Structure 1
């Protein structure tokens, strides 16, 4: 029998001799780890840790009995399952530390077993059997820690997705239901619902692949330094609430992203209302097409939001009130701008001229042309005319019906 065959035989024999000790190997490994890595001894972790020690001990002993090579080593399904269970309760660094301590315990048990069961093999053979076992155990440690990193990452990502989905469903319930316990809901969301909030709704188009959550946090950071609540609703839509009472406005941070911002509100009612306002801001921004900035503030489009739920009726209203003045030519655009400024300055010619940095005679000329286009005096039907001018400035004469 060659030396390698002799070593393989003794490795098999020692592993077989250890088989009756398997339960003690598992529990002994666990106790050794609990003593040196206290995180494993916690009540919510210890039972799973013991199961993992037993699963790993069984897998190790089986591999040593069957002479599995290092290249062919692979953790069993039970080892993977118990590792995933541990990943729910402790950090990856702690998990790796536990495996390192556990393998040290196994190396000690293997060395003592070789001394006990290889007494007739001679010192050189016994040393080689010891070396084979410890090398195998250290290789197992390297393999399992590599697999641990992958398994831990996969489990962490799965838990993160589940947590995100659970929080999103909780937010939907809060937004839709009147029967909400604010303390319980705050705990489930991980967000204090009793405070003031400013809501954002962030939507990206297909050309922008930047992570939505990072984009939302950047936007929130332009309003407040407080940590926001961010909820991914679908692949291209994210809801965000910023715990602040500031009237500050979010400023654009990326191309290809549309953001709606609501007003600040307090408690559950404020949480809901600011969110509805942010949704309306996004809706109006999409209706307006390219004419809107990347961040649309509800305070700027409240009237437009109120009037734009029937785009065809809105377009008809604007054209019927403005008449020829609604024509999108550059000349008419100047006339509309002048008339809007005239109304904003309480129909004062000189104040309008100062506002637009023009001579007051130029203002009078433009307003006379506006009257011709309207087909009536500029003070006739002033309320309807102001509203129509505002809507035209926000959305244009023709809205994007196809987008609705």
Structure 2
């Protein structure tokens, strides 16, 4: 293969034949990187960013090889630029980003070399193909890595100077228990830490990677705060798809007001939200946030959408689900046929749960569910037939099983 055109023909054909397998090859590469950098897989934003960056880079290099484009024409694709920004906002050091590129390069090189070994029999020709392609691949990665390093530095400086970064740093220090003067923290956050606090977590799953959802999350948090009579919540973005929020109260808020806000799906408008309970002072600032995070876990586990999940409503399930296998066995034993997933049984189960929450008051249950009292009575009888006992027998176990079933998900 002394003729350079021969190398061009081989690389063009090889790259063109590999392009249809692009998505599978990227998935394999991401698995390889995550095996060596598990911290990237444990964070949803880092995982999504890695997938997008790997895909865009693989697609670009395959197309350049297939088209015969010179390596100096390479520039960092959109996914790679976005990944540098995500790394900054998730607090990851530059070394982590560059190591991902080294691992990705190693995977790609092994993949590309393996293709040549299966296509070229002559040892001399194979050596020349390896030399040419190695030069191309490593020059490409060197150029891209230099560009994303510059982007990382720009984003890091921008983030470090922003007010959002200062709020985030201050909040993280408070949550971690680091010593920080309360008056200084209050001034930085423009939020009185000595009040009562209700912690919230809002999140969403955008349809497009480039979509800026933080503004939507902030609007949702403000609508929820306004519905509780507290127009100025503390808002702290945590990455690109999650918002931490705290609503401050001078006095103990009306529980009915909180319940009404939790049922106000119009405030969310397609977003997801979870709250802690109202807690006092700096200790309460931390505790209510931790509770909101646990409530989010329960919401994600159960697949709840379009509603605010309050920690107080799921605290028992959260504690009991520390052992999911035992929880599933407990639910199956207590509910039996009442655990069926069909629509009719689901309605019966929901009615019984509200009936128990309302202390077996048929009228109150009917009003809350928007159905006739006779329907409540009929569904309770159906539930008792499925259970083989009265709903008042083993009542605590029944209520617990109903809550757990709603939190276990599939």
Normalised TM-score (structure 1)? 0.51
Take 1:259 and 1:190, find their aligned partners in 2: how far apart are those partners? Answer: 23
Spell out the pairing of 1:270-309 with structure 2 (5 A cutoff).
Answer: 270-289=284-303, 291-309=304-322
Q: Match for 1:311 among 324, 332, 336? A: 324
Asked if residue 382 in structure 1 is aligned to residue 386 in structure 2, the reply is no
Q: For residue 409 of structure 2, what is the aligned residue in structure 1? A: 399
Count matched residues: 242
Asked if residue 223 in structure 1 is aligned to residue 225 in structure 2, the reply is yes
Take 2:272 and 2:367, find their aligned partners in 1: how far apart are those partners? Answer: 34
Go from structure 1 to structure 2 and tell me whether the alpha carbon gap of 1:170 and 1:346 turns closer, same or farther (over 3 Å shift): closer
Take 1:182 and 1:265, find their aligned partners in 2: how far apart are those partners? Answer: 17
Per-residue CA deviations over 1:316-339 (Å, capped at 9, x if unaligned) read 222221011111123322432343
Q: For residue 195 of structure 1, what is the aligned residue in structure 2? A: 195
**Contiguous gaps of at least 5 residues in structure 1:** 1-153
User: Contact 2:159–2:165 at 8 Å: present in 1 too?
Assistant: no
Per-residue CA deviations over 1:257-288 (Å, capped at 9, x if unaligned) read 22222233332012112211221222111111
User: Contact 1:220–1:242 at 8 Å: present in 2 too?
Assistant: no
User: Contact 1:307–1:314 at 8 Å: present in 2 too?
Assistant: yes
Larger radius of gyration: 1
Take 2:365 and 2:219, find their aligned partners in 1: how far apart are those partners? Answer: 41
Q: Match for 1:240 among 245, 254, 257? A: 245
Q: Partner of 2:246: helix, strand, or coil?
A: strand
**Contiguous gaps of at least 5 residues in structure 2:** 1-153
Deviation (angstroms), 1:212: 0.8
Deviation (angstroms), 1:181: 2.8
Take 1:254 and 1:351, find their aligned partners in 2: how far apart are those partners? Answer: 27
Take 1:274 and 1:366, find their aligned partners in 2: how far apart are those partners? Answer: 37
Deviation (angstroms), 1:359: 6.1
Per-residue CA deviations over 1:87-123 (Å, capped at 9, x if unaligned) read xxxxxxxxxxxxxxxxxxxxxxxxxxxxxxxxxxxxx
Spell out the pairing of 1:171-182 with structure 2 (5 A cutoff).
Answer: 171-177=171-177, 179-182=179-182
RMSD: 3.4
Q: Partner of 1:234: helix, strand, or coil?
A: coil
Go from structure 1 to structure 2 and tell me whether the alpha carbon gap of 1:342 and 1:261 turns closer, same or farther (over 3 Å shift): closer
Go from structure 1 to structure 2 and tell me whether the alpha carbon gap of 1:202 and 1:378 turns closer, same or farther (over 3 Å shift): closer
Take 1:353 and 1:255, find their aligned partners in 2: how far apart are those partners? Answer: 27
Deviation (angstroms), 1:214: 4.9
Deviation (angstroms), 1:385: 0.6
Q: After superposing the two structures, state which structure 1 stretch, 232-241 or 333-342, moved more.
A: 333-342
Deviation (angstroms), 1:218: 4.1
Q: For residue 81 of structure 2, what is the aligned residue in structure 1? A: none
